[in-house]
Amino acid sequence: MAREKYQTLTEQMFYILICLKNEACGVDIMKMAAELTDGRVLIGPGTLYSLLDNFVKEKMIIETKTENRKKSYIITNLGEEMLEKEYRRLTKQKNDYEALVKGGGQ
């Protein structure tokens, strides 16, 4: 099940799911992730299409249409849950950092 397999998401996974809040094809996802992160997160086609296939199998996204070889996808409720879970995990890390480092604790 997706919850067991994806306890945490890689940056590429996180940004793919964010990009699929609206229907998009693979090329659009790669462009959006690069633009959203000012080029910090680049997702190559091999990584992207492998993750898209895995996400479909795990029901985190669904394929919405196919035109020739171009497939479009959108996030599912399960994908939204996984994205939210990862967001909360990252926020907790940020808060822990701020409490210890910026708060002056030792």
Q: For residue 91, what is the domain's CATH number?
A: 1.10.10.10
- Residue 6 within any structural domain of the chain: no
- 25: containing domain: 11-102
> What's the number of domains the chain is made of?
1
Mean pLDDT value of segment 16-32: 97
Count of CB atoms within 10 A of residue 26's CB? 18
- Residue 3 within any structural domain of the chain: no
Q: Is 105's pLDDT higher than 60?
A: no
Q: Is 58's pLDDT higher than 60?
A: yes
pLDDT tier, 6 (very low <50, low <70, confident <90, very high otherwise): low
| Amino acid 95: pLDDT | 94
Q: Is 70's pLDDT higher than 70?
A: yes
Which strand (E) or helix (H) includes residue 68?
none
- Residue 63 within any structural domain of the chain: yes
pLDDT tier, 103 (very low <50, low <70, confident <90, very high otherwise): confident
Sign of the dihedral through C-alpha 51, 18, 86, 43? positive
Q: Is 1's pLDDT higher than 50?
A: no
Mean pLDDT value of segment 66-78: 95
| Amino acid 14: pLDDT | 97
pLDDT tier, 7 (very low <50, low <70, confident <90, very high otherwise): confident
Sign of the dihedral through C-alpha 87, 5, 29, 79? negative
- Residue 72 within any structural domain of the chain: yes
Rounded to whole angstroms, the Cα distance separating 19 from 12 reads: 11
- Residue 22 within any structural domain of the chain: yes
